[in-house]
Amino acid sequence: MAVNALRKLAAAAPVPLFVAEGEGGRERIEDLALSADIDWVASPRHASILLVVGRIRTADYEALQRVHDQLPHPRATLCWGSDADLPGALRVDAAADPQ
């Protein structure tokens, strides 16, 4: 019974998110910043999700992989409006884009 209550409480908690912003990603981030369901964190070590937004230079892929590796488990990387080819990253397609 207590486990179910804790599970519901955890599901209602904001998601800790660290953002890697690329070219053209600022507007998407500003729109997302209005959501109360997200806890913006200053360090990837405090995040559950790495959100890659905008166009990322190929030269930055290795640095992004290092940032991803700093996220504690369980973790996920999402690419939103980004052409970044990162191993294991999930893509948010254009149909899910609120713009």
Is the pTM above the cut of 0.75?
yes
Residue with tokens 């992989």: 65
pLDDT digit string (tens) for 35-84? Answer: 778 888 999 999 999 999 888 888 988 999 999 999 999 888 888 887 77
CATH for 14-96 (3.30.70.20, 3.40.50.150, 3.40.50.12280, 3.40.50.720): 3.40.50.12280
SS3 assignment for 37-99: CEEECCCHHHCCEEEEECECCHHHHHHHHHHHHHCCCCCEEEEECCCCCCCCCEEECHHHCCC
Q: Where are the domains of the chain?
A: 14-96
